[in-house]
Each structure stands twice: as structure tokens, then as C-alpha cells.
């Protein structure tokens, strides 16, 4: 009878897996309008933070409460990140097709550096800064500090976050391999791993 107890490590593990799947589904649903994706990311990371501290009631309720509490503050930051990222991607795509002259090489390097900085900041922005009582400018400054101080960990988070994008660039075969994983558990699993990484980092000024 002891082996069938709900306190059995196997059932505890499966319960955690179930929570991660629930969070992944909620993340996809709440990200569908695009404009609420920032709040969805915030809610996902806050859910895993509370799970790590064992202070959450349920994955669904924690995600819902976190989503609703962060939506107003996260939308302006998310729009700023989305628009600036789209501009940088467009610039890089244009530059790669431009004439092979020194000016475009310099412009491309500048755009590439800005894109890299954008990626570093966004590794920290929604997981940590949006829940703090600070404005957009201060939140971005804080994330630049965290990304720099914890650069090795930040680069590891970048690699985890870029996996689906790299697979998308590589083509249909790789997309077909990862799509079922990310639609079921992949985004939440990445956030969970990033949460574990953040726990090891210096997160105070």
C-alpha cells in the first residue's frame, strides 16, 4: 500500500510534470492575442518561482492570478520589446541583402550588437523585472545589470530560449521534430530550467 501512496516520489514527479504541461497550455492560450504575451511570460515564471518555493496552491490558479496582476504593467514593456525586436530583425534581414560595401558591414555589425543586447535584456526582463515596483526605464537598466553580472548564466538562458527559433530557421524537418514538444511542454520546460538558473544568479543591485 505504501507504494501506491500519493506521497510516492513517482506520483510527486508526475504531478510536477502535469503542472508544467498545464502552465505550457495556459501560456499558449494567453499568448494567442500577441499583445498579452508579456503578461503570459510573467505569469509562467512567477508560477515556477512559487512552485520552487512551494508556496503555490495550484498551477492554474497561480498562473491566472499572476497573469491578471501583471497584465497592465507588462503590456507597455512587451510592446516596446516586440516593436524594437521586429525593427532589429527587419534591419538585419535588409542588411544581409544589401550591397557588399563597407558602410553596410558596419551597419550590420551595429544592428547585430543591438540585437544581441536585446536578447540578453529580454532573458531577464519578464522573468524578474516586471513584478518589481519600477518604471520601464529602470526595469531595462536593472536587466542590463543582471545580464552583465550573470553573463555565463545569461548566455545559457539565451541558448535555451533560441532552440525553437534555430529549429525554425533550419527548416521543416526540425520544425516537425520540436513542434509537438513545444506545444505540449517545451515552453514551460524552458522557463522552468531558466527559473532554476536564475535561482543561482545574483539578482540584486
With contact defined as beta carbons under 8 Å apart, do 170 and 9 qualify? no
Which value, to the nearest 10 degrees, does the dihedral of the CA atoms of residues 128, 72, 24, 193 take?
0
Per-position pLDDT tens, the chain of length 205: 445 555 667 777 788 899 999 999 999 999 999 999 999 999 999 999 998 888 878 899 999 999 998 888 888 889 999 999 999 988 888 777 766 676 667 777 888 899 999 999 999 998 886 556 777 788 888 888 999 999 999 999 999 999 999 999 898 999 999 999 999 999 999 999 999 999 888 766 4
User: Which positions ≥6 away from 198 have C-beta within 8 Å?
Assistant: 124, 127, 128, 153, 157
Q: pTM, whole model, 2 decimals?
A: 0.87
Burial 77-94 (b: 16+ CB within 10 A, else e): bbeebeeeeeebeebbee
Kindly list the domain boundaries of the chain, sorted by start residue.
Answer: 2-199
Query: 144: closest CA among 156, 128, 133?
Result: 128
Number of residues that make up the chain: 205
Query: Grid coordinates in use for 61?
Result: 490558479
d(CA 55, CA 62): 10
d(CA 22, CA 30): 12
Return the number of other C-beta atoms located less than 10 Å from residue 140's C-beta: 19
Amino acid at each position: 500500500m505504501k507504494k501506491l501512496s500519493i506521497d510516492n516520489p513517482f506520483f510527486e514527479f508526475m504531478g510536477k510534470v502535469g503542472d508544467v504541461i498545464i502552465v505550457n497550455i495556459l501560456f499558449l492560450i494567453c499568448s494567442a492575442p500577441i499583445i498579452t504575451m508579456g503578461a503570459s511570460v510573467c505569469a509562467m515564471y512567477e508560477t515556477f518561482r512559487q512552485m520552487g518555493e512551494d508556496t503555490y496552491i495550484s498551477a492554474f490558479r497561480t498562473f491566472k492570478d499572476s497573469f491578471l496582476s501583471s497584465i497592465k504593467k507588462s503590456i507597455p514593456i512587451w510592446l516596446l520589446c516586440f516593436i524594437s525586436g521586429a525593427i532589429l530583425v527587419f534591419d538585419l534581414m535588409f542588411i544581409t541583402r544589401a550591397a557588399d560595401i563597407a558602410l553596410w558591414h558596419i551597419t550590420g555589425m551595429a544592428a547585430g550588437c543591438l540585437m544581441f543586447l536585446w536578447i540578453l535584456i529580454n532573458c531577464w526582463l519578464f522573468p524578474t523585472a516586471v513584478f518589481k515596483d519600477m518604471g520601464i526605464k529602470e526595469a531595462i537598466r536593472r536587466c542590463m545589470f543582471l545580464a552583465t553580472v550573470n553573463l555565463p548564466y545569461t548566455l545559457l538562458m539565451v541558448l535555451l530560449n533560441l532552440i525553437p527559433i534555430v529549429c525554425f530557421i533550419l527548416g521543416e524537418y526540425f520544425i516537425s521534430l520540436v513542434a509537438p514538444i513545444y506545444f505540449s511542454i517545451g515552453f514551460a520546460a524552458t522557463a522552468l530550467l531558466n527559473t532554476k538558473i536564475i535561482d543561482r544568479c545574483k539578482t540584486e543591485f
